[in-house]
Structure 1
Amino acid sequence: MTQQQPTPEAPQVTVRGEGRLEVDPELARIGVSVRARGTDRSSVLATLASRNAEAIALVKSYGEAVAKLETGALSVSPEPARHGRGERVRGYQGWVHLSAELTDFTALGELTTRLADLEWTRVDGPWWALRPDSPAYAEARRQAVREAVRRAREYAQALGSSLVALLELSDTGLGQGGPAPMGGMRMAFAAEAVDAPAPMELEPQRQTVTAEVAARFTMAPPAL
């Protein structure tokens, strides 16, 4: 398609519009790593399976507060002897990684604390996010379009002219800012406790949503 060229009778103005919103997160993601070690391979596998099942059951007990629960990487490997020749094995270790996505932040602090209190279990997170179909993305795009029209109109008015028609509108960028994974908490390999620990107090981190558009308009001939 041939791009319409500007002429003195139909000059053009090209502008960029940005949209930026600060919104509350809609999702919280946590990672759970369950481990087991021992000298007998069969017992390590049995212990790992038991601890994994216990962690999964605990997460599922929170019902609709948990939007997603997935099993990620699984590893079971021998530990070679520190000294000696050949393929001598001094023990075995295994771990399973789970990831959970929660929409109820009230339950989040309690769940993470209870998970971290399980034997040989590590909890990482939370990492805050928005849903892929969050209305915040659409609002940021609308804000960017309104900003582009406002800028173009101001340029036209500065020339004593006015906008006539929109020739092109393109989305040049949309993103979500938030905490990097390294910013999450880590509770590792909690020791067995007699009393249940108090729930962790977690404050959701606001999310930054940005959008950017480029727009091209024709103007009425300016009064120069």
Structure 2
Amino acid sequence: MGETTTIKTDDGQFSAYVARPSRSKAPAIVVIQEIFGVNAVMRGVCDELAAAGFLAVCPDLFWRIEPGIDITDQSEAEWKKAFELYNAFDVDAGVKDIAATIDHVRGLPESTGKVGAVGFCLGGLLAFLTATRTDSDASVSFYGVGIEKNLVEADKLGHPLLMHIAEQDQFVPKEAQALIISQLKNHPQIAIHTYPGRDHAFARIGGENYDASDAKLANGRTLAFFKQHLEA
């Protein structure tokens, strides 16, 4: 069971969900939300990372619009609300908030100082930008939306990035996927895995497109990646 903490920035302060591992000192992972806020799915991701030995923190990135968003993907009204939030969201400000979260976590006494990031959907784009714009030690992007519009940012990448791409992603057209892969596949810091037959959010437990087998595969690759780059 996690807890809530407050992260302060020059623009104001926002809350974050924190899940702690059993060990007293651990590397940390910033969990970057989908368009549904810091909800049960994101808290569950944090709890699973904590069980695997990481200090996991999920910041409320919608705080500038409406603090405390916690909705699901189970109703039409919630989807409408989620897309309203998505359309109002300032990506650049969000990355700055992630950077502030990384700085906050890195300075905690229970942190080893190594901090990674993992994001899903909107968070998948933000994880890519976190890898290029912050000092995250290792980042993972799950089915990020809009990455193809930001590929030039890869030139700034200084730390490892792992990407999971759903081949039937309804929000990332085949042309966009092809562009992402062709532009990034030979980058020395980037590893890309594609998942045939999978649609967007195939790793979201309880979601319409959830696939237990490929979710387990992607999550296993993610955990191995973090162990390699954050525990060395």
Flag whether TM exceeds 0.5 (same fold): no
Q: Which has the higher helix share?
A: 2
Q: Which has the higher strand share?
A: 1
Q: State the TM-score, normalizing by the size of structure 1.
A: 0.28
